[in-house]
Structure 1
Amino acid sequence: MSLVRAILLCCMGLMLCMEVAAADREVVLVVASTSPLHNLDSLEMRKIYLGFTVKRDGKIIKGLRNTEDENLNRIFLQTVVAMSEKSYMRRLLFLPLRKGIPRPAKYDKHEDLLTALSTKPYSISYMWREDAVRSSQIKILRVLWQQN
C-alpha cells in the first residue's frame, strides 16, 4: 500500500468518526429522577418558558433555564420558544410587570441546575444528552433537538 493511499484512508476514517460524533449531539428535556412528570409536548414547553401556567396533578410546572452554554441557549431559543433572544428577553422583562409572574430561573452552572431540578419535582429543563446521561439525579423525557 502506498503512503499516499494509507494517509487518504486514515483521513477518510477520521472524517467518518467526526461525522458520527457530530450526529450524536442532542439537546434533551430533563426532569428530576423522582419527578412524576413523564411527558410534555412542544406547546406545553413553550407555554412554560413564556410564562403561561401549565399544570399536572394540580401543581404548576416551572421551567429552569440552562444558560451554561451559548450554543445550548441558541438551540433553546430556536426550538423551544421560537423567538430571537432579544424578543424573548423583552417578553421575560414584562412578565413580572404585567402579570406578576416571576421569570424562569436561570442556571449557569450544571451542578446548580441539577440541585434545583432534584429539589423541585415539578420543574423541567434542557441540556446536552451527554451531560444528562452522566447524572443519576435526572431522567430524560424526550429529545428536543438533534444535530443532522
Structure 2
Amino acid sequence: MIVRAYRPGDAQAVIDVILPIQREEFGFSITAEDQPDLADIPGWYQTGAGQFWLAEQDGRAVGTIALKDIGGDAVALRKMFVRPEGRGAAGAAAALLATALEHARTHGVGEVWLGTTERFQAAHRFYEKNGFTQVAADDLPAAFPRMAVDTRFYRLAL
C-alpha cells in the first residue's frame, strides 16, 4: 500500500474511487459535477495546511482522503473513500488517516473536523476508534464546509 499526494493526471482515478462508493454503496444520486472540489483539487485542497492523497495498491487507486484548511489552525477532513479491496486487512483507511494526521500535526493544525452521514456506520466506528468524538452541528467552526448530506459530525484535537 502506497499513500501519496495528489498530482496532475490523478483526477479520473479520484473520481473512479469516489463516485461508485457514493452511488452504488450508499445510493446517493450525485455526479462529479455536483462536487466542484473534484474539478479543482489543487485549488480546493492543496493550499495552506491542506492536502489530498491517494492510496494505491498494485498501481491502482483504492482510496482517497483530503484535508481542507479552514483557518484558525483547523482543517476539515474530506473525501475519505476506500474501495472494497482496500478495506480491512489491506489497510488503506488506516494508512490514509495516519498520513493526513501526521501532515496536520507537522503543519501546526490543532483541530480536525469532519462531517459524514448516518449511513456510514463503519466510518463512525473507524473515526471513533481513532480518537474522534462526535459533536453537534452547532459546534462546527463557521468556516466548516458542510455538505448537504452531512448529518453526523466529529472533532479530533491534535
Is the shorter-chain TM-score for this pair beyond 0.5, marking a shared fold? no
* Structure with larger Rg: 1
The structure richer in strand per residue is 2
Q: Which has the higher helix share?
A: 1
The normalised TM-score by structure 2 is: 0.30
TM-score normalised by the chain length of structure 1: 0.32
